[in-house]
A and B are shown apart, each in its own frame.
Chain A
């Protein structure tokens, strides 16, 4: 008798809760990842960050030397610094800080063509850490375990653009215990360490907002992609660039009317993305690309072709429900894969993408707004708190070897 009443009560309560849960705006859908519904969390009050005051040569002087650092896709490190300086989570008292931030710009040494050279970056980072270790006691207290660094380069803290060399170098030894905030993410890869926070690359938000068209413009392109398929300058043989995946896309689908793919960059690039159902985001020399950010902002379902990639904020955003993942070996049957996705699944993905907090989480607006990528980074750091007792070293214990790594790195900067 009692159990029946329980069952009835349970059913009634479920019947009541479900319609309330679905009362959200019907053409978007709430996003909750493996860490829960955390996209809209407010980090203020959940953590405190202390920003080290490094000499100008580590940050401001580099930007002054070349202001292109502020607009390229690695500008995250600069804008994160500026955000933290004026943020409510900043504390001026290092004793109460949970996390320590070192503002060193390692991706601001640019070639005349605008590409960052990573050759001095290990030395710059090492020099910054030595400065911090000498002038404040907090580095030696934990050997960097409660410090975080922003390393947005191609392969993160491996500090090289070429994957084989990056793998051979590995992550800079001094950063062994620190938390890294980086764009690179690939499972089981040397250059992604456990506990890193993956972030999207920097894409200028105003430039994208300027090209928005009315959402009633019918989406009439099935698959859209603009970019290189072969990199003849650096990979004349073929087969190295993108592990052959981009070339495979071209060779298989260049004559397919459903695929609007080419290397030609039209001025209506952003508008065309808003008229497409799927946007390809294949790997290049590194698995990540700003295309993901653009696809999310413009509501085009991203098709990720990069094996084992770790996408930004993977614990807060359930990417498997939003994007379509295609293994590199399955690229020849990409058209079969995409056309056999049921229409309801596609509509659901579009609803998730239409959620404004999703778009906001991919952007780095100036000044910062609630729910944007800066806040997601802080949320990620807050989720790692409280620090385990083991991060605090016992007196006399040393974990880091300050002379490890290639000899070239040990040269002072």
Chain B
């Protein structure tokens, strides 16, 4: 296979065949030259005449380009070419064929059809073999048209078919190379109705729908069951349990963390009551998960821990809190298991909140950095049998009974409170080196308004610009002029004109 021919080599090839105009016409030049010589062999008496004509055409083509010279040769020599069959092909447009089977090309002659591209004719050399009588060589050397179908865009049914093929291929891959006996997942998510709930929950829904294992989703909602959450879950096509929780979600972050912990425990009690089987995973609705996570947690025996990347950010303008060499190697804060060189759990990496101690957010929606808790629940997974009432065979003694937790009203900070001995926790994800989920808290102010279901119904009749929106002339609805004027911001004029525009529909009404 031949990628980068040197231009020089082709020009030497062209130089070796007699020059008949142009530098690049190597391939086409030679038949024209040999046809010239053929022409001369058939009319020996007029050889000098043809030679002169040939020279003249060379000169013309040098000035006008080899396309012209080639055209001249076609017109002059087409009747004297006996040894080479000439066929003209033009670029063809073929309507999309319905052939579904592919096969070796049968004998066909290059078709002559309507042209699309402006260049029209080409001379083609047929194979020498066809001259020697061998039958089926229909692959011709020379210039071919570039076939473009009239609507070169994807067809949605075909795209869907391709996605089904890909799905089937991946299913087969999982069967041979993936987890051997996958266990179902139980995902616990604390949530409450607020401005960004739809944003976060939709992301989580899409993630759970792509998980290749059976998922049961326990959604614990603070403040009781609401219509917003219920409608989101109803459209989710994930098997879910919508559990109400009697407290409302507090506005302060510290309180919110504790309430969420209580909500998670409540979810665990549901699992315990119903004796649900599988792997328990805590997915906060604002976290971001990678699909690798769900494959990795299948490895857990009793209780495992994964690394959580912490994306703490400040809602306000970016303030650089990094030192010089932190800027060179920015540390990505990760919460998770720490191992020694032989792969055993020796401790935990936690989020260093000291740099943020002055500037952390205290209530939801404050424009300051939101800090995670000491030990995020989402970094822990465990076998559902661990919290069942009956002492299963194999349930380790280092697990506390769920009923005894929270009995005396103490607050549960981290899931490590569920176990007596934290050293039995299994580190997952290459001993915590692989980060497969990220913690983020992005929330609007607690008192922000949003339309229920994010739908404006009925549509607004009068549109009033907000304080900082530049309002353009809306006479010319074609829009192209608008795009050109887009960048220009003429404030007083626009405001007055918009005021006038706004009164017009009102007057019409």
A115: CB under 8 A from chain B? yes
- Taking a contact as CB atoms under 8 Å apart, the answer to whether A222 and B10 are in contact is no
CA A290 to CA B2, docked complex, whole Å: 10
User: Hey, which chain A residues are within 8 Å of B99, CB to CB?
Assistant: 330, 333, 337
User: Closest chain A residue to B153 by CB distance?
Assistant: A255
A154: CB under 8 A from chain B? yes
CA A123 to CA B355, docked complex, whole Å: 77
A401: CB under 8 A from chain B? no
A238: CB under 8 A from chain B? yes
Interface of A is mostly: loop
Q: How far is the CB of B143 from chain A (nearest CB, A)?
A: 4
Return the contact of B24 from the options A236, A284, A326 (Cβ within 8 A).
A236
User: Closest chain B residue to A155 by CB distance?
Assistant: B2
B26: CB under 8 A from chain A? yes
User: Closest chain B residue to A277 by CB distance?
Assistant: B169
A271: CB under 8 A from chain B? no
Binds B, one of A6-14, A164-172, A377-385: A164-172
Return the contact of A248 from the options B9, B143, B148 (Cβ within 8 A).
B148
User: Hey, which chain B residues are within 8 Å of A248, CB to CB?
Assistant: 146-148
- Taking a contact as CB atoms under 8 Å apart, the answer to whether A219 and B166 are in contact is yes
- Taking a contact as CB atoms under 8 Å apart, the answer to whether A188 and B134 are in contact is yes
- Taking a contact as CB atoms under 8 Å apart, the answer to whether A326 and B96 are in contact is no
- Taking a contact as CB atoms under 8 Å apart, the answer to whether A256 and B154 are in contact is yes
User: Closest chain B residue to A288 by CB distance?
Assistant: B1
Chain B's interface size range is: 35 or more
Q: How far is the CB of B135 from chain A (nearest CB, A)?
A: 8
- Taking a contact as CB atoms under 8 Å apart, the answer to whether A233 and B152 are in contact is no
B155: CB under 8 A from chain A? yes
User: Closest chain A residue to B178 by CB distance?
Assistant: A216
Q: A188-B134, A190-B128, A330-B97 given as contacts; is B162 within 8 A of A258 (CB)?
A: yes
B455: CB under 8 A from chain A? no
- Taking a contact as CB atoms under 8 Å apart, the answer to whether B137 and A189 are in contact is yes
Return the contact of B129 from the options A73, A163, A190, A253 (Cβ within 8 A).
A190
User: Hey, which chain A residues are within 8 Å of B142, CB to CB?
Assistant: 164, 240
Chain B 65-106, CB within 8 Å of chain A: the 1/0 string? Answer: 000000000000000000000000000001011111011110
B319: CB under 8 A from chain A? no
Q: A115-B6, A284-B3, A340-B161 given as contacts; is B149 within 8 A of A214 (CB)?
A: no
CA A113 to CA B105, docked complex, whole Å: 37
CA A340 to CA B10, docked complex, whole Å: 42
- Taking a contact as CB atoms under 8 Å apart, the answer to whether B162 and A338 are in contact is yes
Chain A 297-313, CB within 8 Å of chain B: the 1/0 string? Answer: 00000000001100000
CA A288 to CA B105, docked complex, whole Å: 17
B119: CB under 8 A from chain A? yes
- Taking a contact as CB atoms under 8 Å apart, the answer to whether B122 and A284 are in contact is no
- Taking a contact as CB atoms under 8 Å apart, the answer to whether A350 and B27 are in contact is no
Chain B 149-187, CB within 8 Å of chain A: the 1/0 string? Answer: 100111100110110111011101110111000000000
Residues of B at the A interface (CB closer than 8 Å) are: 1-7, 9-10, 13, 24, 26-27, 30, 94, 96-100, 102-105, 108, 119, 122, 125, 127-129, 134, 136-139, 141-149, 152-155, 158-159, 161-162, 164-166, 168-170, 172-174, 176-178, 295
8 nearest CB pairs, A to B: A285-B2, A289-B1, A188-B137, A216-B177, A332-B149, A244-B144, A234-B5, A339-B161
Residues of A at the B interface (CB closer than 8 Å) are: 27, 73, 111, 113, 115, 117, 154, 161-165, 167-168, 170, 186-190, 201, 214-216, 218-220, 222, 227-228, 231, 233-234, 236-240, 243-245, 247-248, 251-253, 255-258, 277, 283-286, 288-291, 307-308, 324-333, 335-341, 343, 346-347, 350
8 examples of A-B residue contacts, CB within 8 angstroms: A154-B1, A164-B141, A222-B162, A328-B144, A329-B105, A332-B94, A336-B98, A343-B164
Known pairs A227-B3, A336-B97 / 8 extra A-B pairs, C-beta < 8 Å? A73-B1, A115-B6, A190-B129, A216-B178, A220-B166, A248-B146, A258-B158, A327-B102
